Structure 1
Amino acid sequence: MGKIPSFINENFLLHNRFAEELYHEYAKGLPIIDYHCHLSPAAIANNRNFTNITEAWIAGDHYKWRAMRTLGIPEKYITGNASDEAKFKKWAEAIPYTLRNPLFHWTHLELARYFGIRELLHAGNAAAIYRNTTAQLAASENSCQGLLRRMGVEVVCTTEDPIDDLKHHQHLASSDFEIKVGTSFRPDKAIHISDEGFNDYMEDLGETEDTEIDSYDALCEVLAKRIAYFNANGCKLADHGLENISFETAPHHKVVAVFDKRRSGKALKKKEIRQFTSAIMLFLSEKYHEYGWVQQFHLGALRNNNSRMLHALGPDTGWDSIGDFQQAKGLSAFLDALDRNNKLAKTILYNINPSDNEVLASMIGNFNDGSVKGKVQFGPGWWFLDQKEGMTNQLNALSNIGLVSCFIGMLTDSRSFLSFPRHEYFRRILCNLLGKEMEMGELPQDINLVGSIVKDISYYNAKKYFEFD
């Protein structure tokens, strides 16, 4: 395969003059607020330089892993003991066959933006690109902090468990690094009471506050202290990964009994799990409201489907998919229980099943009470939906049922420091969507009006919503 001119040109995904002007004049130069990701705060604090492109780009990326497995590439080249160069070469072999998958776009956009490489990646140029990118990653401007600077990142929020000591965030807060690195409080392990490791986690969580968590009330007390600790360290967000919210209230004494039953090693009934989850979620959400945080709910993933590979490789290695859980009724009851007592924090709802787009787009309108612009948000396309069609469908559902002008825009939800061109990808898709409707006469050909909406969605709405200093 010879050298082919890059399709990642200045007007990539922009299909008319209105789209081009919206992107280049209104969206392109804006800073990035990445309010949800899974980057390593240690790597940022230590200003790590990656040894090679595989470390920076393929390690931990289950999107790439799934594609490679689908193509019949052995696991030794994915998560196994093959050399980093061999793993990269296998990824390069795979790339031509990812055509129409977002990985094809992301790969070439990232090669262009970070490394100035504008040729299509394939087996024939893999060795040269491996050497080129590895040499570039050794430069000081391509350290983890440098990579964030180069993409114009203003704020990035990582995701931490309540037991985290936040030492890396503390180091960054006292350093001269100009990009704000925040955190999100992620208490999933304290919520999922039926998980196998729940009791062991109670021991770990209790150690953070030198407390034995021997009762439900003790759990709430420790979580309250961890929330206060995170808040004192600049945290403004919480995040939760749930299949759905099956809301079912119960008297306090019953919740206490459910907790005691689980701590004694006994299995719980589905009703008891719902009762505990509902109680702890209400407790946590009321605390978030007290501190003025934003709460996020990532709903609908069906995780760890392949038990054989889960046993071999562990969770988060590429065996999750879209679930078809019922969302509306329980979610409505949960939000209403908080709103009824005026304790509903600013809230972002994410779905992974595209059939729930209109459900969430309509749900947010039930609890936008005029107190805050876009108080309850329909979050951007997430995981399997953070591609061109998924983003477009989310924007259309929100536009049709709510107000897209209030939308807080894109995030990476990524573990890779090379993923920030996804913001550019989103902005181009947004500008093309609006530009096409301007060309067709479905929107006014008022570039300043539409451009101001583009700027708000790309940057300003998030800046105001999260109140980042």
Structure 2
Amino acid sequence: MAFMDDDYLLTTDLAKELFHGYAESMPIVDYHCHLHPEEIYKDPNFKDIVEAWLTDGNNYGDHYKWRLERANGVPEELITGNGDPWDKFYAYAQTMEKAIGSPVYMWTHQELRRYFGITDELNSKTAKDIYEKTNEMLATPEFSRRSLLRRMNLDTICTTDDPVDSLEYHIAFEKDGGDTFKMIPAMRPDKALNPDKAGFGEWVDQLEQVTGDTINSFDDMMAAINKRVDFFHEHGSRLSDHAADLMLYAPSTAAERDAILAKARAGEPLTLEEVTKYRTQLFLDLMKIYHAHGWTMQLHIHAMRNINEREFGIHGADTGYDSINDRSIAEPLAALLNEAAKTDSIPKMLIYSLNPNDYLAITTIMGCFQGGMKQRMALGNAWWFNDTRTGIRKQIQTMAEGSLLGNFVGMTTDSRSFLSFPRHEFFRRILCEQLGEWASRGEIPSDLDTLAPLVQDVSYNNAKELFA
């Protein structure tokens, strides 16, 4: 099999037939990404491939690539700094020569093929030609930000938006008639989750301003958040997302929560016990709100963030200094769901863990709280460091063995890059590869009437149903 040919990753005839006949042409629903809605609405061109692919010295870009460049000894000036664009690109090309086996290596060449039609391997010899060709194409109207999304047969994209966001660009996008795809907000109330972080008090002040409410208690805050869910719902939102990071559980009284909120707004330090009590009730109340609105709640668990304090201080968050955590998840997650189940307020949920060792615990706990709707709870896709062939296969296998693979909602980019959407193809190829392997061993039938609808459901249809 040739490098990145039409059948790469497809190791059986059945896998090839499933992918090319049924998965490849399906539209994309990207229900979790980090693209800026302003960029999508205004639709400018990138000034060059470095801005589109790496970074323009603004600490906003593809930290998957940055981690590899640091491992290759590239100076930070050529990673997140203000180095010469050609020097940055050449440094990345040199890094790719060492990145054999990395998913970033495959994504890089997949993106060159799908967006630019470039089939050359990226290395120090080909870098100049690729740099010039991509820059020339990116300067044309056919390569504006929205045009890049259209090239990927995008149906729906969900941005990640704070509850206090005005959604001005979503509203303007909708008012102008949209595009060939929908842009829908997905609420991410991370600032509400972290009363111990700097800026929490200011965020509550903003929540008061956008709702017109006075927040004197924890219940007042939740009522204000409920108003914002109403507002998001009016503009198409049907999902929320939460960087839970750690699962913690502790019950509390209303008086305790009010006191914790008052301390947090005043900027006073909180104990771990206080944060745990606050977050437990926040999650329980959010689950009730989402359940009432028919939303899907996403929990992203076990990211250990900003662990290199020196570099975090220089570059800020989301710049490549996060890792996998290995704390306990089973007991606090089970306790949270059990408490929510007492009031029948568990919404549809996607539960992700950055630690794949958590998958079996999550799926067995999920099984205790299913019912009342199709796949109320599902294991989230192979996220971040698990977004590899090995990681995706493990997630698919665990979802299949522990629940119902045919109900899984498929892939997301979880990305800050407009060029990342071929990752959906990467996932679909691996899904078809896995099904073909199972069939070759006689574990499942080699029956297109059975497997083709499943492939299309997991690739697109199930995710589309999130917005029904």
TM-score by length of 2: 0.96
Deviation digits for residues 380-430 of structure 1 (CA, Å, limit 9, x no counterpart): 000101110000000111111111111111111011111110000000001
Amino acid at match of 1:80: G
How far apart are the structure 2 equivalents of 1:271 and 1:347? 26
Say which of 300, 303, 306 aligns to 1:301. Answer: 303
Indicate if the aligned counterparts of 2:2 and 2:8 stay in contact, CA closer than 8 A: no
How far apart are the structure 2 equivalents of 1:217 and 1:433? 48
Residue aligning to 1:387: 388
Say which of 176, 195, 198 aligns to 2:197. Answer: 195
Residue aligning to 2:293: 291
Indicate if the aligned counterparts of 1:8 and 1:112 stay in contact, CA closer than 8 A: no
Unaligned regions of 5+ residues in structure 2, if any? 56-60
RMSD between aligned alpha carbons?
1.4
The sequence identity of aligned pairs, in percent, is 39
Deviation digits for residues 418-469 of structure 1 (CA, Å, limit 9, x no counterpart): 11100000000010111112122222121221122111111112222331xx
Are 1:37 and 2:33 counterparts? yes
Q: Report the 3-state secondary structure (helix = DSSP H, G, I; strand = E; otherwise coil) of the residue aligned with 2:164.
A: coil
Residue aligning to 1:438: 439
- Out of 66-75 and 139-148, give the one that drifted further: 139-148
Q: CA deviation at 1:35?
A: 0.7
How far apart are the structure 1 equivalents of 2:49 and 2:190? 32
How far apart are the structure 1 equivalents of 2:82 and 2:465? 46
Q: CA deviation at 1:216?
A: 2.4
TM-score by length of 1: 0.96
How far apart are the structure 1 equivalents of 2:109 and 2:408? 28
Indicate if the aligned counterparts of 1:206 and 1:212 stay in contact, CA closer than 8 A: yes
Q: CA deviation at 1:342?
A: 1.4
Unaligned regions of 5+ residues in structure 1, if any? none
How far apart are the structure 1 equivalents of 2:311 and 2:203? 23
Are 1:326 and 2:328 counterparts? yes
1:80-159 equivalent positions in 2, closer than 5 A = 80-159=81-160
Amino acid at match of 1:18: L
Q: Report the 3-state secondary structure (helix = DSSP H, G, I; strand = E; otherwise coil) of the residue aligned with 2:160.
A: strand
Q: CA deviation at 1:7?
A: 1.0
Indicate if the aligned counterparts of 1:39 and 1:417 stay in contact, CA closer than 8 A: yes
Indicate if the aligned counterparts of 1:39 and 1:414 stay in contact, CA closer than 8 A: yes
Amino acid at match of 2:273: K
How far apart are the structure 2 equivalents of 1:277 and 1:70? 36
Q: Report the 3-state secondary structure (helix = DSSP H, G, I; strand = E; otherwise coil) of the residue aligned with 1:147.
A: helix
Moved over 4 A (4+): none
Deviation digits for residues 240-294 of structure 1 (CA, Å, limit 9, x no counterpart): 0012221211111111111122233322222111111111121222111111111
In the superposition, relative to structure 1, how do residues 117 and 6 fare at CA in structure 2: closer, same or farther (>3 Å)?
Answer: farther
How far apart are the structure 2 equivalents of 1:464 and 1:102? 29
How far apart are the structure 2 equivalents of 1:272 and 1:301? 21
Residue aligning to 1:183: 185
Q: Report the 3-state secondary structure (helix = DSSP H, G, I; strand = E; otherwise coil) of the residue aligned with 2:400.
A: helix
Deviation digits for residues 49-94 of structure 1 (CA, Å, limit 9, x no counterpart): 1111111111211101111001110100001110222211111111
Q: Report the 3-state secondary structure (helix = DSSP H, G, I; strand = E; otherwise coil) of the residue aligned with 2:243.
A: strand
Q: Report the 3-state secondary structure (helix = DSSP H, G, I; strand = E; otherwise coil) of the residue aligned with 1:296.
A: strand
Indicate if the aligned counterparts of 1:300 and 1:325 stay in contact, CA closer than 8 A: yes
Q: Report the 3-state secondary structure (helix = DSSP H, G, I; strand = E; otherwise coil) of the residue aligned with 1:350.
A: strand
Deviation digits for residues 205-248 of structure 1 (CA, Å, limit 9, x no counterpart): 33323445443233223212221211122111111001222121
Q: CA deviation at 1:355?
A: 0.6
Residue aligning to 2:265: 263
Q: CA deviation at 1:303?
A: 0.2
Indicate if the aligned counterparts of 2:160 and 2:185 stay in contact, CA closer than 8 A: yes
- Out of 458-467 and 185-194, give the one that drifted further: 458-467
How far apart are the structure 1 equivalents of 2:312 and 2:202? 20
Indicate if the aligned counterparts of 2:7 and 2:16 stay in contact, CA closer than 8 A: yes
Residue aligning to 1:10: 6
Residue aligning to 1:26: 22
Residue aligning to 1:52: 48
How far apart are the structure 2 equivalents of 1:266 and 1:43? 37
- Out of 281-290 and 416-425, give the one that drifted further: 281-290
How far apart are the structure 2 equivalents of 1:201 and 1:91? 38
How far apart are the structure 1 equivalents of 2:147 and 2:72? 34
Q: CA deviation at 1:158?
A: 0.6
Residue aligning to 1:236: 238
Q: CA deviation at 1:197?
A: 2.4
Q: Report the 3-state secondary structure (helix = DSSP H, G, I; strand = E; otherwise coil) of the residue aligned with 1:38.
A: coil
Residue aligning to 1:356: 358
Indicate if the aligned counterparts of 1:6 and 1:120 stay in contact, CA closer than 8 A: no
Q: CA deviation at 1:142?
A: 1.5
Q: Report the 3-state secondary structure (helix = DSSP H, G, I; strand = E; otherwise coil) of the residue aligned with 2:268.
A: coil
How far apart are the structure 2 equivalents of 1:48 and 1:71? 32
How far apart are the structure 2 equivalents of 1:266 and 1:462? 42
Number of matched pairs:
462
How far apart are the structure 2 equivalents of 1:280 and 1:464? 27
Indicate if the aligned counterparts of 1:49 and 1:143 stay in contact, CA closer than 8 A: yes
1:328-347 equivalent positions in 2, closer than 5 A = 328-347=330-349
How far apart are the structure 1 equivalents of 2:191 and 2:100? 38
- Out of 237-246 and 418-427, give the one that drifted further: 237-246
Residue aligning to 2:256: 254
Q: Report the 3-state secondary structure (helix = DSSP H, G, I; strand = E; otherwise coil) of the residue aligned with 1:342.
A: coil
How far apart are the structure 2 equivalents of 1:54 and 1:341? 51
How far apart are the structure 2 equivalents of 1:234 and 1:451? 30
- Out of 301-310 and 178-187, give the one that drifted further: 178-187
Q: Report the 3-state secondary structure (helix = DSSP H, G, I; strand = E; otherwise coil) of the residue aligned with 1:109.
A: helix
Amino acid at match of 1:411: T
1:211-230 equivalent positions in 2, closer than 5 A = 211-230=213-232
Q: CA deviation at 1:377?
A: 1.1
Amino acid at match of 2:118: I
Amino acid at match of 2:353: N
How far apart are the structure 2 equivalents of 1:6 and 1:163? 50
Q: Report the 3-state secondary structure (helix = DSSP H, G, I; strand = E; otherwise coil) of the residue aligned with 1:124.
A: coil
Residue aligning to 2:58: none
Indicate if the aligned counterparts of 2:120 and 2:126 stay in contact, CA closer than 8 A: no
